[in-house]
Structure 1
């Protein structure tokens, strides 16, 4: 990835976590970091002009402090800040057109505390033309219940369908693992064949289940061969599980450093749409989640 990385900030704890994550990632990948803060004019006469100017000035100060703070911690990172008069979603989508990666916090300063993912973050995940990483307030192994992560926090996890492999999603996950020197856990969920249970065969034998699982494992091994050759330094951990894909990914990603999922895009559509799996993962994952767009 040679294009700059973009991160949206708004002064919230979630956006601070996103900025920290983005700075480390940009430094790791050797790309510039572009910080965007949106401060659109309020409609009508809701705020007198002097107060509106004051709000914009406060936003500019917050942006400058964030750039300075990240610059102190990453002195070799090329960085710039941008104050936009557009709405946050409009400003970030515009910046994403030339970005290699867009990073946002799962929530901003607005919304309700019970929301797992805010409206702007969801819009970015659905509509951004580049991969998007949504960063929670306590990323990578920080659990609200105080229980430490039980798994290797250097791990990258990716959802993979060996029957319909998606190059964009796989390449993003493999390159992320390679950049970190991390292992890659490739999760493929599968289901019993529809014809396996019927009025005449109400139960599935353990032998049949094992046979079907072996077939899925072989299919995954064959599908991964091209990426093993392309990324020989990445250690792969295949994980074939008889679960719903969202549940399988959430289980695998506990304590992981990054979870990668795909998103289908329609070139003719103005906006995108998240699939059920990606939507469920975004609302329940405890680690940063990368949503990678692809065209079928």
Structure 2
């Protein structure tokens, strides 16, 4: 793995916003920024066309990362910006490979509306599901303010299957940005608790106390490891995805996990992560973990 922040670039407004967000992140990490564009060869009939042929297509696609790099160097003169162009029929596969070679990969995503939500395309979802390193999706509408304004880093945490790499990513990101961490833990009773809840209304309070205590105990060593970091923790009954989407308003980043699957059933994004990707108003970091 090379110490770079990499951004996938396609010339769209969303990818340019992602490049700006990635430039700020690279500066915070004190690492170079790499702009990667996957050049897809034209179909044979179009490649032979006199005005839309392969050479013309390549000329215009080569301009995209070159001009983006020039603009970023003007706004971030101390930043080392490089360009890499790849050729392949599968952008998702190429970007996934690139992600495995960087500290993190940043992609742009179109907003569904002015008030909230991502429109995550098939390439973005495929990269998130396959990449072995963290992938951040950025909306064009909020790229500037979330890159520079110190809103809290929101961490979605499951006390049943905690991941140290997920927590480490969120906490170190907050330290670099000089902001706080807001840990959100949503829980729902297991189906076999239904009978106990109907027989004993106080049982819900017992479960709530258990979940809150579990979250407190899980975060205790992290509070000791990051003594200067402001950490708030919320353990609430209800949908984890809905709570994270609500918490994304005003956040600088939402951090969620993706469990790596090592069997032959293909790539997978969990339902909570999938919902957050589509409905968060802040950039979303998906951190793969065992």
Distance 1:215 1:115 in 2: 34
**Structure 1 equivalent of residue 174 of structure 2:** 177
**Structure 2 equivalent of residue 145 of structure 1:** none
Label 1:225 to 1:2 Cα distance change in 2 as closer, same or farther (>3 A): farther
Distance 2:69 2:221 in 1: 40
8 Å contact from structure 1 (residues 158, 259) kept in 2? yes
Task: Kindly state the Cα deviation for residue 47 of structure 1 after the two structures are TM-superposed.
Answer: 2.9
Distance 1:249 1:200 in 2: 26
8 Å contact from structure 1 (residues 103, 133) kept in 2? yes
Distance 1:177 1:199 in 2: 40
Q: CA RMSD in A?
A: 2.6
SS in 1 for 2:119: coil
Determine which of 208, 223, 226 is the counterpart of 1:228. Answer: 223
SS in 1 for 2:175: helix
8 Å contact from structure 2 (residues 20, 144) kept in 1? no
Number of matched pairs:
280
1:216 aligned onto 2:211: yes
8 Å contact from structure 2 (residues 120, 277) kept in 1? yes
Of the structure 1 ranges 231-240 and 18-27, higher mean CA displacement relative to structure 2 is found in: 231-240
**Structure 2 equivalent of residue 64 of structure 1:** 66
User: How do 1:99-110 and structure 2 match up within 5 A?
Assistant: 99-107=102-110
8 Å contact from structure 2 (residues 17, 143) kept in 1? no
Stretches of structure 1 that go unaligned for 5 or more consecutive residues are 109-113, 143-148
User: How do 1:8-157 and structure 2 match up within 5 A?
Assistant: 8-48=8-48, 51-86=53-88, 87-107=90-110, 116-139=119-142, 154-157=151-154
Task: Kindly state the Cα deviation for residue 262 of structure 1 after the two structures are TM-superposed.
Answer: 0.4
8 Å contact from structure 2 (residues 93, 127) kept in 1? no
Distance 2:243 2:189 in 1: 15
Task: Kindly state the Cα deviation for residue 282 of structure 1 after the two structures are TM-superposed.
Answer: 0.6
Distance 1:124 1:49 in 2: 32
8 Å contact from structure 2 (residues 18, 143) kept in 1? no
**Structure 1 equivalent of residue 114 of structure 2:** none
Of the structure 1 ranges 269-278 and 122-131, higher mean CA displacement relative to structure 2 is found in: 269-278
Stretches of structure 2 that go unaligned for 5 or more consecutive residues are 112-116
8 Å contact from structure 1 (residues 187, 249) kept in 2? yes
Label 1:30 to 1:270 Cα distance change in 2 as closer, same or farther (>3 A): farther
8 Å contact from structure 1 (residues 141, 286) kept in 2? no
1:187 aligned onto 2:184: yes
Distance 1:278 1:54 in 2: 40
Of the structure 1 ranges 37-46 and 195-204, higher mean CA displacement relative to structure 2 is found in: 195-204
Task: Kindly state the Cα deviation for residue 169 of structure 1 after the two structures are TM-superposed.
Answer: 1.0
Task: Kindly state the Cα deviation for residue 49 of structure 1 after the two structures are TM-superposed.
Answer: 6.3
Label 1:92 to 1:273 Cα distance change in 2 as closer, same or farther (>3 A): same
Label 1:234 to 1:12 Cα distance change in 2 as closer, same or farther (>3 A): same
Task: Kindly state the Cα deviation for residue 252 of structure 1 after the two structures are TM-superposed.
Answer: 1.2
8 Å contact from structure 1 (residues 22, 33) kept in 2? yes
SS in 1 for 2:140: coil
Distance 1:274 1:85 in 2: 27
Distance 1:200 1:101 in 2: 44
Distance 1:214 1:159 in 2: 19
Q: What TM-score results when the alignment is normalised by the length of structure 1?
A: 0.86
Distance 1:106 1:198 in 2: 44
